[in-house]
Amino acid sequence: MATFVLIHGGGHGGWCYGEVSPLLRDAGHMIHAPSLTGCGDRKHTVTSSTDLDTHITDVVNLMEFEDLSEVILVGHSYGGMVITGVADRVPARIRELVFLDASHPTDGVSLRMNAPHRIEPAYAGMRVVDGVELVLFPQPGWAAFFGIRDPDDVAWAEPRFTPHPWKCFDQPLLLHNGDAAFKLPRTNINCTETLRDSPEDMRRRQLDGHRNFEIDTGHDLMITEPGKVAEMLLSVAA
């Protein structure tokens, strides 16, 4: 039995793994798919200080309080920032990192710096609500922004998107333990569309895993192709 911790991306919550988690669980594995502070079902917990470090701490605390070990730590999109930070803090608890069409940060780099062509448009729509800077405000047709086009998937996902704290995208990742996070085995599961549209330096990082998979689908691949994602994650567990 393997232990999976599934981390969502910006504007999402643990709900986005709703079709992947049962497939992994039915195969006999333990699954944790938390919503990070201020996101999804925890949108009410957001504060003006919620940032990348907050989300790294969310996951570290989950792993420590549940005493998880040999974790296959999966991060989607912005979640790549989070799982890299977690791997830096508690590398001994992690068996492998899986980047699910995700950001591949290095020390001192924020998501805004890592993917400006995607984050600057989000910043342009930033609003301050109750003293908190938020981006990715849901709107009609928002599912298409994440590559979700099937009508049933759209109907399920669109009511669940939530705004995301801007500081998470703007705060640089600061590593505490040298290159510990980069010594762990890593798997990349990329979307064909993302690979095609990525700058060359980003594409190199997307293909530098010990294993690299590709799915021809939209960015929210855990929603659009849950069976294929689960199959690839099960191959990592095996």
Q: Which residues are catalytic?
A: 77
Do 208 and 176 meet the contact criterion of CB atoms below 8 Å apart?
Answer: no
Tokens for 201, please give them: 């330096």
CA nearest to 122, candidates 168, 88, 180: 168
Main-chain dihedrals φ then ψ at residue 25, nearest 5 degrees? -65, -40
Main-chain dihedrals φ then ψ at residue 101, nearest 5 degrees? 45, 50
Return the ∠ at Cα 79 (arms to 75 and 84), rounded to 5°. 80
**For residue 68, what are the CA distances in angstroms to 4, 61, 62, 130?**
10, 10, 8, 36
DSSP state of 125: T
Q: Whole-angstrom Cα distance, residue 177 to residue 17? A: 30
Q: For the packed helices 52-65 and 79-89, what is the interaxial angle rounded to 10 degrees?
A: 50
Return the ∠ at Cα 99 (arms to 9 and 121), rounded to 5°. 40
Q: End-to-end alpha-carbon separation of the chain, Å? A: 9
